Amino acid sequence: MNGILTRLGVPGDIQSFFNAADDLCFHYGDTCEHYGEGFHKIPTTANLWIAGNNAVPQVIITSCAMEAIAFITINRQRYPKLDELAFVAIGNKLQQEQANWIRQKFTKRKFTLVFGNDLLGHLTDIKLGAALKNMPLRLKYSSGKVLVYNLDKLRVFDEDKISYNAFQLAFGIRGKIRTRKAIHSLTFLDQLKNDTYR
């Protein structure tokens, strides 16, 4: 077991599921995410980090592998069967080719989007949720407002009111996509580090 993850309270079965090595280096194909005492390097890449198998009913998408580990550690009671989950990390910035690959590889699955509890996290939820539905979308920010364009439709949201749910309601969208946000922190990894979930 990894000493850092153990100190964070990550159980052994979760560490095994994610094949957590001593160096906590998570490979995205052309680069890696690296986590250690006092640092966390998350790549910006067109590739993805994936854990679990492709035939599962639920896919959880995060910005990084460590967020995936923190999320499932904190929410384990909701997901008792790890073998029914796949985790995908996109890195620092969502790329269109990433969303296309996820949509094509994981057809007819339930998705949970796990990004930061801030404006950037909410916008990533919206961009990725729309891309998973193959819905063309443009986002623009201006003077505290977020403008969301879909073909000939425009919806305007206050930046402090925008969420994936508000986006779905505004555009009349339904589907198998949900979002989860850390309650006490910006991210689940922050929450795990701060030990506020216990």
3-state DSSP assignment of residue 149: strand
Position 83 in a domain:
yes
Total residue count of the chain as it appears in this document: 198
User: Is 198 a member of any domain?
Assistant: no
Q: Look up the domain containing 102 and give its range.
A: 3-193
Amino acid at 96: Q
Total number of domains in the chain? 1
Residue 28 lies in a domain: yes
Question: In this predicted model, what pLDDT tens digit does every residue of 47-88 receive, in sequence order?
Answer: 999 999 889 999 999 999 999 999 999 999 999 999 999 999
Which residues, 6 or more positions from 80, have their beta carbon under 8 angstroms from its beta carbon?
Answer: none
CB 18 within 8 Å of CB 27: no
The string of pLDDT tens digits covering residues 16-30 is 999 988 889 999 999
Nearest-5° angle of CA 12, CA 13, CA 18? 100
The per-residue pLDDT for 198 is: 46
Task: Determine, yes or no, domain membership for 107.
Answer: yes
Where is 87: in which H helix or E strand? strand 85-89
Share of the chain above pLDDT 70, in %: 98
Inform me whether the pLDDT recorded for 197 exceeds 80.
no
